[in-house]
Amino acid sequence: MQLSLRTRFYFALLITSSIFLLIIIIADQSDFNVGRFIYLELAFNVILAIMSYEVTCLGAGSGNGEIFYGFYMATVLIRILLTLTIFVLYFILMDASKQEILVFILSYFFFYFAYTILEVRHLMSKLQGKRGSE
């Protein structure tokens, strides 16, 4: 049974998120400072990955390279603007110590890059068309 590329993406997203969530829960239970908003960071980056993948797939489905690049650049712009919004809100509204700020930034960017790599890996499969059909 051959799964579609979209199904594989969501399955990989579920597995990756489950592993990250398990690691966070174990670290949180062992009194490791994971930050107050680690669960929200994880959920937000999952939503960003889904949004980026779906919008970019719309561009890839057009068959036109220029349209694909336009859709991809639009998702990059949206991701950057939403990330900046989160950082600005965090720094303005939260009274956090330097350690909390560092934990927030490092964990956020870890999730950001991990989900971006996951998304790009699956988009490359879609563009190459070597792993199956949609």
* Alpha-carbon dihedral angle through residues 43, 44, 45, 49, given to the nearest 10 degrees: 100
Number of other CB atoms surrounding residue 50 within 10 Å:
15
Separation of alpha carbons 114 and 112, rounded Å:
6
pLDDT at site 46: 94
Map out the domains of the chain as residue ranges: 5-128
Which amino acid belongs to residue 76? V
Task: Taking residues 6-27, report their average pLDDT.
Answer: 93
As a dihedral over the C-alpha atoms of residue 88, residue 93, residue 99, residue 100, rounded to 10 degrees, the angle is -100
pTM (two decimals): 0.82
Mean pLDDT of the chain: 85
pLDDT band at 3 (very low <50, low <70, confident <90, very high): confident
